[in-house]
Homo-oligomer: A and B are copies of this chain.
Amino acid sequence: MNSSKQSEKNMKNFLFGIDIGGTTVKIGLFDLDGRLLEKREIPTRTEALGKYIMSDIAESAEKLLSSKNTDWSSAAGIGIDVPGPVIGNHYVTRCVNLGWKDIDVSKEMRVLTGVEDIVVVNDAKSAALGEWWMGGHEDCRCAVMITLGTGIGGGVILDGRIINGAFGGAGELSHFPIVPDETEPCACGKYGHLQQYASAEGIVHQFKKKLRSEKKLSVLSDNDHITAKDIIDAARSGDEPAKKIVDDAVKKIAQTMAMITSVIDPELFLIGGGMAEAGDFLLNAIREEFHRLVLFVSENARVELAVMGNEAGIYGAVKSIMNCLKDKNTQC
């Protein structure tokens, strides 16, 4: 290798943004300005407590580097998001969807790759950052994303950074205690959390409970495998029990947004996740109720659908490591 090639090789020109989901891992190779160069998707091997996941990722990412005629020595940093809480931007105590327990993700990745600068973030927070950045909202100083999927995810972006909070609980909107007097527990053991009413699982649960307790007739009464989509579709067609449940979910999402406003007063709410595919039907209902509830001064806050879909994660992950590299003293 001649010396010019050698020096090119030693330059750290690449970044990775890696989005680890319960089914697939998305791996993006980026340049230092966060432009996506290549992308791969591999299955998430959750067997054996997910012990192959990290090495699978390292192997696959290395292939992306090989395709650029280089290796790990040219990687300036790696941003990783995981479907669970992250402590101190590197440690996962428990990640049910991956089978993980007590893993220092940064340390493992460092051992596998030799890359020093690694940051690990929660997937919903990463999606929020990716959506803010690549969804065209970079001029917005404060944005909150609510991901309405099987569960609920949240992310608070302030001045281009994810807010983690003192104990990593910032933006934990799945467990936003919207009904403090609830007697039925959330999966976490506490009570009355937003996901109990407004996640896809929550909507199905509340709907079945309503049919059982009130013996109401619904077009879905004979359907054993009801999904949130079925219920939203039924609500849209005017089915009364379905409408009640969807209205209640909308109300609680909007209430949560109005409460968030009294704390950090964001300029923009982004609604993402599978349930957002119901599009304007849900969005307009959420907007209307939010504007009814929110402080007068903040009535101009925008409520928009997220547009980045599945790609938000890798962008948020790479933006997280870009933030870390930019200012190692600031929260990533």
Contact = CB atoms under 8 A, between A and B. Distances in A.
Interface of A: 85, 140-142, 154, 156, 158-159, 163-173, 175-178, 180, 188-190, 251, 255, 258-268, 293-298, 300-301, 331
A95 to B, nearest CB: 14
Contacts of A266: 165-166
Given A168-B265, A189-B296, A190-B293, 10 more contacts: A159-B331, A165-B266, A166-B301, A167-B267, A167-B301, A168-B297, A169-B265, A178-B259, A188-B296, A259-B263
A298 B85 CA distance: 12
Identical subunits present: 2
A262 B141 contact: no
Given A251-B180, A258-B177, A264 B170 contact: yes
A262 B175 contact: yes
A317 B154 CA distance: 33
30 contacts: A142-B165, A142-B166, A154-B262, A158-B158, A159-B331, A163-B265, A164-B265, A165-B264, A166-B267, A166-B268, A166-B301, A167-B298, A167-B301, A168-B265, A169-B295, A169-B297, A170-B265, A171-B263, A172-B295, A175-B295, A176-B262, A176-B263, A180-B251, A188-B295, A188-B296, A190-B295, A190-B296, A263-B263, A263-B264, A264-B264
Contact of A177 (B159, B262, B300): B262
A126 to B, nearest CB: 17
Contacts of A168: 265, 297
A300 B169 CA distance: 12
Contacts of A166: 140-142, 265-268, 298, 301
Contacts of A294: 177
A177 B298 contact: no
Contacts of A170: 262-265
Given A166-B298, A172-B295, A190-B295, A260 B263 contact: yes
B263 A156 contact: yes
Contacts of A177: 255, 258-259, 262, 293-294
Contact of A255 (B141, B171, B180): B180
Q: Which of A85, A180, A262, A301 has the most CB of B within 10 A?
A: A262
A128 to B, nearest CB: 13
B172 A265 contact: yes
A176 B300 CA distance: 17
B297 A167 contact: yes
A260 to B, nearest CB: 5
Contacts of A163: 158, 264-265
The 8 lowest CB-CB distance pairs between A and B, nearest first, are A165-B265, A166-B267, A169-B265, A170-B265, A176-B262, A169-B298, A263-B263, A167-B298
Contacts of A258: 177, 180
Nearest to A87: B297
